Structure 1
Amino acid sequence: MSVFGLGIELDGEGSHPASWRRANHPPSESLSGRTLLARVRAAENAGFTLATFDDSIVPPRGDVRARVDAVNRASFVAAATSTIGLVPVVETTYAEPFHTASQLATLDYASRGRGGWIAARARDAAIARAWGRPAVRADDLDREQRDSVTVVRALWDSWEDDAVIRDYATGRFLDRDKLHYVDFEGESFSVKGPAIVPRPPQGQLVVFGTGADQPLVDVVLVVESEREAAVAAAQRSPGLAFVEVSVALDLAGVTAAERLAELDRHHPAQTPSRLQYVGPPGGLVDLLDDLARHADGVRLFPAVIDEDLPVLARYVLPALFRSGVAHRPVPGSSLRDNLGLARPSNRHARTP
């Protein structure tokens, strides 16, 4: 099935470091569950395929210096949503992959098969200090990323789909022959397994990563500042590719450029490493229509969530739905279904 996925990043108040100054609520509400749930529901009602939640053990850069753990945020909104995919960032460099696998499998159960994972490297030396660990050398980051994703995927398969029996009459609840050891030995850690959570509803959650992570991931996130480079990177990807786009849209009475200039006076933003769109909604529709010819989706980073998300919901996504470029997620479907990905077979399953 050919799909064009629409993702939105909902971390903090927006991608601009001073975005809180234009938020629709006082700063005391920035980390509240009420604010988070309202935004995720707004993105779901707009028709986004998935929402992502950035994370790190160190505070985010900018004026807001705190955040709630991304998996906790995704799990909090799981029961109160029904169609949108929930995709937190979990760094692989210092986190224990056994715990990562358990957390994400639990998210998939809580969301009824709408979980995903952005596997990210921890490059900041402050992260190592926060963990109380020696900093991982730059040339070892890829190895730790590869080992962590490999172990997490193996743990998700360590329970076969029918390992849980629940035969109350005989008192048998598990088929021990359908639980499997992982027995991974790496340079930084070893994991025996099996997992403590049964295989997730999707079998394997949708894993997102960079081009350097192929073929470990299901979706490659393309981070390029120029359109031609982004298109070329998306076309080189053997699997699905999502192009990242920073977005600031014109509002009634104020242009996007004016909004950004005001925010820059308080806290200048760094030049984004991803594609950037600043202007009227119609121009963004044209850009996304163009990207849909070359990529499998986009992940949008609104400059100010409370201002840009309503414009996306009212003018941008409806235009994409009318033209058939994108479609709303199907109720009752998993995130894999809505991205056109098949549910993978368990690596231990016996062929009849």
Structure 2
Amino acid sequence: MTTKRQLRLGFILHGVGPGWDDWRHPDALVDASTNFAFYKRQAQAAERGKFDYLFVADSVSINARSSPHYLNRFEPLTILSALAAVTEHIGLVGTATVSYTEPYNLARQFASLDHISGGRAGWNVVTSWLEGSAANFGKDEHLAHDTRYRLAAEYLDVVKGLWDSWEDDALVRDKASGQFLDPDKLHELNHKGEFLKVKGPLNISRSPQGQPVIFQAGSSEDGRSFAAAQAEAIFTHQDNLEEAQAFYADIKARARGFGRDPEKVFIVPGGRPVIGSTEAEAEAKYQELAALGNLENALRALGRGFNDHNFSVYDPDGPFPRDVAAEGLKSNQSQSARVLALADQGLSLREIALRHATPRGQLVGTPEQVADRLELWLEQRGADGFNLFESLPGQLETFVDEVVPILQRRGIYKTDYPGTTFRETLGLDVPVNRHTAARSARSAA
């Protein structure tokens, strides 16, 4: 009997919503981004729906043009630690930037979350793409795109090395003998590299899953190579199945080239389901969502991927201003590339901004239709799963109650969690401690 591929699902905790105007919906909580009770309800609903993980995105630079959620929101590891206490199985994935955090602190924080949650932590590794971030951390300028990815590779290696400071059986804790630690199984890192100098060891041991699960979201050339070499799950965005299949095939091939099992590298594009009992109702709900927005905020949203460029100074009914392309190259390359592709189609600045602000996506329809599209992308190798936003208030519960049972009946989605750790949920191996592996190799020689 052939086992069907299993769909992976993550839910993005995004407070008042990913858009600039989502908070204006009559049923929206205007303080959702700093409302723990709201996040608790969402987390428990997602766990009831057997989602693989919760995800908290982040940014370390804002201005008056930033979206409402990013203007006023929880720090990722803080909210995830709180949610660890009110959930039991769902993974807890947070974003942290390598450009503006110290690796020792980050390694310690994620290891702590991993212990607090019983082995459910995941780290979304980002390099930060807004130039304004530098000034918040006492730096004169933001690192160039390629330099940021060189830093990321070294940084991740350092953090993993710190997580391996302790071998799994280093803590003896023998009351009779008085031995708390086997000192031969606690290791300094003593790293000295291009960007970082870290001695170690880390002051917290390995968790039940060994190390947090690594996520990444690179779609540029540098980002794809980094993700394929390092990540266990990759966030992405494609507008159609053909584009998704091309990205999927490219990442899997790169992963194989790095000597990795491509089936252990999950591709999870984003999506905003808009579900109605009929096609007409779903379309009406999407139009309800789109009607919340306006051109001014759509232009603000568009500028985010171009280093917070101010698009309001241009004629909205004129062509997209090509002179800003360089801002995208040094900022968010994947997002700016999607916008430039729309410009190639001859769309006006207004049309591009409005389409970008409220993307329609593939997941507008009845529960059956949404399930069909999720299954199609899974079976046609456009995705291994999806990272889902709540489009309108109540849509998460609708998805859990009406779409999840369809996916389960089709045999492509789990009916329960297979274990207690995030790695067990994803079917990923526990990383072998590097010092234990070296000890075993010496013993076998």
TM-score normalised over the length of structure 2: 0.74
1:232-271 to 2 correspondences below 5 Å: 232-236=246-250, 237=252, 238=255, 239=262, 240-251=265-276, 255-265=284-294, 267-268=297-298, 270=302, 271=356
CA contact (8 A) 1:248 1:302 kept: yes
CA contact (8 A) 1:248 1:256 kept: no
| CA spacing shift, 1:342–1:29, aligned 2, 3 Å | closer
Which piece of structure 1 moves more, 9-18 or 81-90?
Answer: 9-18
CA contact (8 A) 1:3 1:340 kept: no
TM-score normalised over the length of structure 1: 0.92
Partner of 2:15: 12
Partner of 2:43: 40
1:176-255 to 2 correspondences below 5 Å: 176-209=183-216, 210=218, 211-213=224-226, 214-236=228-250, 237=252, 238=255, 239=262, 240-251=265-276, 255=284
Partner secondary structure for residue 243 of structure 1: strand
Residue 378 of structure 2, aligned match among 284, 292, 299:
292
In the alignment, the residues of structure 1 paired with residue 371 and residue 357 of structure 2 have an alpha-carbon distance, to the nearest angstrom, of 20
Partner of 1:307: 394
Residue 364 of structure 2, aligned match among 276, 279, 290:
279
Amino acid at match of 2:126: A
Question: Which deviations, in whole Å up to 9, do the C-alpha atoms of 1:49-101 show, x marking residues without a partner?
Answer: 11100112224831341111101111111021011111011111121111111
RMSD, matched Cα: 2.3
CA contact (8 A) 1:49 1:329 kept: no
| CA spacing shift, 1:28–1:63, aligned 2, 3 Å | closer
CA contact (8 A) 2:50 2:417 kept: no
In the alignment, the residues of structure 2 paired with residue 117 and residue 185 of structure 1 have an alpha-carbon distance, to the nearest angstrom, of 23
In the alignment, the residues of structure 2 paired with residue 156 and residue 273 of structure 1 have an alpha-carbon distance, to the nearest angstrom, of 40
| CA spacing shift, 1:27–1:106, aligned 2, 3 Å | same
Indicate the structure with greater helix content: 2
Q: Which has the larger radius of gyration?
A: 2
In the alignment, the residues of structure 1 paired with residue 358 and residue 191 of structure 2 have an alpha-carbon distance, to the nearest angstrom, of 35
Amino acid at match of 2:68: D
Which piece of structure 1 moves more, 228-237 or 18-27?
Answer: 18-27
Question: Which deviations, in whole Å up to 9, do the C-alpha atoms of 1:199-254 show, x marking residues without a partner?
Answer: 12211211011323221121222332332121222233233222313214144767
In the alignment, the residues of structure 1 paired with residue 55 and residue 420 of structure 2 have an alpha-carbon distance, to the nearest angstrom, of 18
Structure possessing the higher relative contact order (Cα contacts under 8 Å, 6 or more residues apart): 1
Which piece of structure 1 moves more, 40-49 or 11-20?
Answer: 11-20
Partner of 1:321: 408
Give the length in aligned residue pairs: 351
| CA spacing shift, 1:30–1:272, aligned 2, 3 Å | closer
Indicate the structure with greater strand content: 1
CA contact (8 A) 1:225 1:273 kept: no
In the alignment, the residues of structure 2 paired with residue 42 and residue 207 of structure 1 have an alpha-carbon distance, to the nearest angstrom, of 24
Partner of 1:145: 152
Question: Which deviations, in whole Å up to 9, do the C-alpha atoms of 1:175-194 show, x marking residues without a partner?
Answer: 11101111211222211111
**Mind listing any 5+ residue stretches in structure 1 that lack a counterpart?**
none
How far apart are residue 310 of structure 1 and its match?
A: 1.8
In the alignment, the residues of structure 2 paired with residue 199 and residue 247 of structure 1 have an alpha-carbon distance, to the nearest angstrom, of 36
- Identical pairs, percent: 31
